[in-house]
Every structure is written in structure tokens, then in C-alpha cells.
Amino acid sequence: MINIGQIFIISAPSGTGKSSLIKAFLKKERSFQIKKSISFTTRIMRPRERNGIDYYFVSKKKFQLMIKKKKFLEYAKVFNNYYGTSLKKTELVLSQGKDILLDIDWQGSIQIKKFFPNSKSIFLLPPSKKELLNRLYKRNQDKESIILKRMKNFFLEISHYLEYDYLIINDNFNYSISNLKSIIQSSRLLTYYQNIKYKYLIKNLLKK
């Protein structure tokens, strides 16, 4: 039996609940054998975040050096901070036959699709603008000016939703986890991947 890893991309406007959804899904579905990619970023570490667990926190100088050395599979500048996905770490996970979950924005999604056209992309939306604003204030992570900036950027981000393969409205949290699980399960059953995974089994079944 041959294994092949898949890439699943999840994007969403700030405050939609993307990070919480991914964290809850990975905790609940441990048997899924899917690994979340840890991005590099130049932004300041928030309370309760841990280096190497939530992000790899680096300086802008180091990040730009990594860009020059082509260390990233994708990278983008968001709210004056850089975010990037390690090329080496991604290739390592895929080579082990494991799936990888990328928490990136629409800019990164476009770049990933160029390298891995078979990757599946999922866009997450809030149930309303009012609820999104409530969530941004409730999480108590940003200043008022940053929250307003995020709301302005919201319209630019959601304008790209049609570029994604799947769309989840994050209204009911448990239902959203179930939807994410269904997407991953159905993608794993695609003929393309099943044919690679069970290559020798199918070959034997076709023997006369």
C-alpha cells in the first residue's frame, strides 16, 4: 500500500474562528493523521502563544533572508507583518504520506495552488458582519485601530471566496468541525488518491 499526503488550505477573515476551529478539529480527530503546518511570522507573540507551537516567531531581517534563500513555499505580508510556510517542512510531511493543514490567507492559497494544483482549499465565513465584530472585540487581542483595520480588510478577503473549493459558514462551531471532517474524508476518497494508495491491490484485482 502506497501513501500520498494531501494539502488542505484554510483561509478566513480575522475573527471568523479559523484558529479555534483548526485546534478543536485536530484535538477531536486525532486518528485522522493530519498535521497542521506551523508558519513563520514577524508579528509579536501574543499572550498564551508559544514559539514553535503556534508560530515560529522571527525578525523581519531573518524572514527576508529566508525569502532570498527561497525557504518558503508561500509567503505574504498582512497588516505590516510577514507570514510564510516552510517549503522543507511541508515536503517532509508529504513525503511521509501524511496530510497537512495550512492556515494561510488568500494570497498564500494562490501560491500553493501553483505548486500543488490538487490541493483542496476551504474558505471560512462568519454568520454576519455584526458577529465578526463581536468576536474581534471579545478575543481582546487587538487595539481598536487594528480591529477597524481588520474590518476594512474583511471586504477584500471575502471577495476571493469563489477561488476556493469549499465554503463553510462558521455559525455552529460543532457543525463546522463536522463539515471540515467531511471535506477531508471525501477528498481522501477521490479516485486519484485511492488509485495511488491502493495501486497494487487494484492491479491484482484487474488481473485475469
Render pLDDT for 72-112 as a digit per residue (tens, 0 to 9): 999 999 888 999 999 999 999 998 889 999 999 999 999 99
Residue 127 has what pLDDT?
Answer: 86
Q: All domains of the chain, ordered by start, with CATH?
A: 7-37+99-205 (3.40.50.300)
> Phi then psi for 59, rounded to 5 degrees?
-75, 160
Amino acid of residue 120: K
100 SS3 class: strand
Q: Give 157-174 pLDDT, tens digit per residue.
A: 889 999 999 999 999 999
* Contact indicator for 6, 118 with CB cutoff of 8 Å: yes
Parallel, antiparallel, or unpaired: how do β-strands 40-41 and 56-57 relate? parallel
Longest Cα separation, the chain: 70
Residue pLDDT, tens place only, 128-142: 888 777 767 666 666
